[in-house]
Amino acid sequence: MDTTANKILVMGGGTAGWLTALYLTKTFPQHHITLMESKTIGIIGAGEGSTPHLTSFLRMLDVDIEELLRETKGTIKQGISFENWNGDGEKYFHPFDVLNEYNEFSIDNIFSTDCYDYYLKHLIHRKMPLKDHNYSSIQSYRNVVDTQNINHSMHFDAHLLAEYLKKITKVDKHIYDEIKDIKHDEHGNIISINNVECDFVFDCTGFRRELIGKVYNRKWKSYKNHLPIKKAIPFFLPPDNKPYTQAIAMKYGWAWKIPLQHRYGAGYIFDSDYITEEQAFAEAKEMFPEIEYIRTIDIDAGRFEETWTKNCIAVGLSSGFTEPLEATSIWMATEQLLTLEHFVDVMFTNDEITKQEYNKLIANNNDLVMEFLHFHYMTKREDTPFWKEFRDKNYLPDFQYKLEQIKKGNLRWYHVKAGVKVFKPVTTHFSLMSWLHVAEGLGLIEDINIKGYENLRPSVEDYGRLIHVR
């Protein structure tokens, strides 16, 4: 790393901008950190959730999680309840994993990291619903919060989270300004924005994508053929404080409910190829009579082929977006930052070849998340053209092989890992456990192969007793 280059500029506030700034102040204390944001740009979202990776990331940065929850009117999240996705009124649960599960529940670690997966396969083979035999699911549906034993995340008010991160992040300079003037060097690197000098820039300008999109005009890879959702209508509901997010399937998409201390952040996300905004809101209001219309948000699912170009990295929504399902947006932002740790030696150089390796890793992670979200739409619903037509379209040829393995019960851990495994960040976000919970919840598994593991100990019944006794 060039030790003479020490001016880092974060463009944009919001969750991504202030998370980036917080990370930089902890990771690069010797550098001068400036954050520039607009006063006129609002924050997207009626409420927001994330995955356990955010909790771990914040703890790594010495953030007081209890204080954060108080300041953001947040609640604990232990998983996601998927409701009516097969059109039958039933629900399934995608839980966060149990902490120290081998010790807590006396499961012999005889199959290394796949031990728990074999329990899930035994349960499926025995026609025993996973949500009834998983500690996280059981406690969550009981509205019991257990942060000691469940790897949890959070729900929070997105506006309040940005304000809290701003309060605890000690940047060298904080500027409110609009982008008016950008200067480059002979290599195309940004050397100043509005006369603020910089050696490196983070584009955290959200959906505006001011730098990576408008200045550098990087190539966009659309997910519109793989993810059907195109618009979202957010609204608010009275509080209930469940320790999980709800994803409720509707006629032309799905509704989310994120419990906060003072209200639910909620909304209807739908495919506008089939219904208008007015029709979507009418459908939502039929289910939730108390709601009022706020606005409609356009969703352009996809990613940039290059999130790092010259001396600029796009983080968060600036780099791409899938959709709110499984709440992966903030995780992808933190993953971009953590992956950067392995490339700090080229941050302040013109080594474009090595930067492309970073771009490949981030692109791969995004594509793997997109594939998992795509999987959720492989339902048995046929009540509207939206559900039937999307399921029947073969947009992901490589995914079809994986889907066949799921149906046969032969899905294995290596089918859901990243293709390139160089270091820890280069892994898919969702393990085999996650795929099995969704597959079983959608009723996709036609058979399950447990050959060789019929006598797993402790038995499924013993394991069930261990879970329910707590």
Q: pTM value?
A: 0.92
Half-sphere exposure of 352 (CA within 13 A, CB side): 6
Q: How far apart are alpha carbons 304 and 145 in whole angstroms? A: 38
Question: What pLDDT shows up at residue 408?
Answer: 87
CA 354 to chain centre: 26
CA dist., res. 9 & res. 312, Å (int): 10
Could you give the strand order of the β-sheet that contains 196-197, starting from the edge strand earlier in sequence?
182-184, 190-193, 196-197
Residue 115: what pLDDT? 64
Alpha-carbon distance of 62 to 60, in angstroms, equals 5
Q: What are the pLDDT tens digits along the chain (470 aa)? A: 455 679 999 999 999 999 999 999 999 999 999 999 998 766 555 668 899 999 999 999 999 999 999 999 999 999 999 999 999 999 999 998 876 544 444 444 444 445 677 788 888 988 889 999 888 999 999 999 999 888 899 999 988 999 999 999 999 999 999 999 999 999 999 999 999 999 999 999 999 999 999 999 999 999 998 999 999 999 999 988 899 999 999 999 999 999 999 999 999 999 999 999 999 999 999 999 999 999 999 999 999 999 999 999 999 999 999 999 999 999 999 999 999 999 999 999 999 999 999 999 999 999 999 999 999 999 999 999 999 998 887 667 778 888 888 988 888 777 776 544 444 444 467 888 899 999 999 999 998 878 777 777 667 777 777 777 55
Cα distance between residue 245 and residue 78, in whole Å = 8
Burial of 276 (0-12, 13-18, 19+ CB in 10 A): exposed
Burial (CB count <10 Å: 0-12, 13-18, 19+), residue 296 = middle
Distances (CA, A) of 122 to 99, 410, 433: 21, 13, 13
Phi, psi of 416 (to 5 degrees): -120, 15
Q: What order do you get walking across the sheet with 173-176 strand by strand? A: 173-176, 32-37, 7-11, 200-203, 312-314, 308-309
Tell me the DSSP string of 274-335.
TS-HHHHHHHHHHH-TT------EE---EEES-SEETTEEE-GGGTEE--STT--HHHHHHH
The sign one gets for the Cα dihedral 365, 366, 367, 368 is: positive
Strand ranges for 117-261 from DSSP E = 153-156, 173-176, 182-184, 190-193, 196-197, 200-203, 220-222, 231-237, 245-249, 253-259
Evaluate whether 364 touches 420 at the Cβ level (below 8 Å).
Answer: yes
Q: How far apart are CA 425 and CA 433, in angstroms?
A: 19
Neighbours of 446 (CB within 10 A): 9
Q: Is 191 exposed, middle or buried (0-12, 13-18, 19+ CB in 10 A)?
A: middle
DSSP tag of 58: H
Residue given tokens 């509704």 in the structure block: 255
Domain ranges of the chain: 111-148+396-470
Q: How far apart are CA 201 and CA 214, in angstroms?
A: 14
CA–CA distance, 356 with 150 (Å, rounded to integer): 37
Cα→Cα distances 447→10, 123, 127, 151, 282, Å: 51, 12, 10, 30, 41
**Rg of the chain on CA atoms, in Å:** 23
Cα dihedral angle (301, 306, 308, 310), rounded to 10 degrees? -140
pLDDT at 428: 60
Strand partners, 190: 184
Contact at 8 Å (CB) between 307 and 362? Answer: yes
